[in-house]
Chain A
């Protein structure tokens, strides 16, 4: 059945992402919250995460391009991005954000710039992965209707 295939594809995708460390076990916890009352909880949560992350990364880009970096602001933004990434199960993303936080707390400009490159790379991977999950979730939801 198409529905069973889609669920299998979704489970395989999630497992693969967890094997690569892109997602951790907390994503399973999120999926477990989805129920008949909130059948699109995972998709909605992904949308909230990506929207917030886009804004935070845009602000980090602006702050880190200033001649005089506002390190307290960068630390706050990196910590915020770390927290939201942990809440979506984005393990690798959360880790690189934590490193950026530390570099910013130490006022290390070059380290911040290098690590922010890492943040952008990991975010690109996570964003693509979450969009694939959201597409499969939507297809499964549409298949049930």
Chain B
């Protein structure tokens, strides 16, 4: 979910509000909250607070060690996504399909440009890039 999409309706009047919005953007708080909410609605744990504590502590550890961020969509999901887009098993997908996939995953800001020169996008590139 892009930050601008989520904050599209806000009318900011004061300096403190603008400051608060900058704070959110800098620390990517909205992305974290979206991730937490989607995980909790998907897994539906019996004890929501403990579940959230667990995810947050994993993110905290991941920040310090720089590995193993907990993701909602993991590697095997990505492979399946790729295979859905490539039914005839040619081994690659077009940039248009790639852009659509990134939009669906919420990773694409509407103004980012994908390198159109890359006519084919292979499975490995897809996995690594995402």
* A complexed with B: no
Residues in B lying within 8 Å of A, measured CB to CB:
none
